[in-house]
Structure 1
Amino acid sequence: MADDDQMTRQRYRQQASDADDAGETSSASRREYAAENNRALEEAKTKRLGRKLNWVILGLTFAIIIVFLILFFTP
């Protein structure tokens, strides 16, 4: 085997340590991205739910008005 193919233990540990450091940085940024993404999804879902609830309230209000009109105008 050539000397280039062989790796000393120290050099191997150094490369493994460098890879771990890079992995921690990317995993931290991945966690931050996931947290931000979850917050954005939660906001979007909350807005959508609020819009649906507004339509339901409006529909119920109209239904109540219609019932009162029917009760008022029927003999």
Structure 2
Amino acid sequence: MMRSWLKNIRSSKGLTQLEVAEKVRIERSYYTMIENGDRKPSVEVAQRIAKVLDFEWTIFFENKCNETLLKI
């Protein structure tokens, strides 16, 4: 399931997937898989992504992500 909320946050910050990946210190392909919902990040990576994009990292681990929690 695509994490459209993550893409929306990233886009609202004016960042590309590559820019986020570089700031988080992961490969762009891995970040893309996370954003597309193909991979779940480790706690450490989730925390780094959340710090770069300024949101609560635990959203990655909720059973059903409520996109209304993350209004842009």
Asked if these proteins are the same fold (TM beyond 0.5), I'd say no
TM tier, smaller: under 0.3
Q: Greater helix percent: which structure?
A: 1
Q: Which has the higher contact order (CA 8 A, sep 6+)?
A: 2
* TM-score normalised according to structure 1 size: 0.21
Larger Rg computed on CA atoms: 1
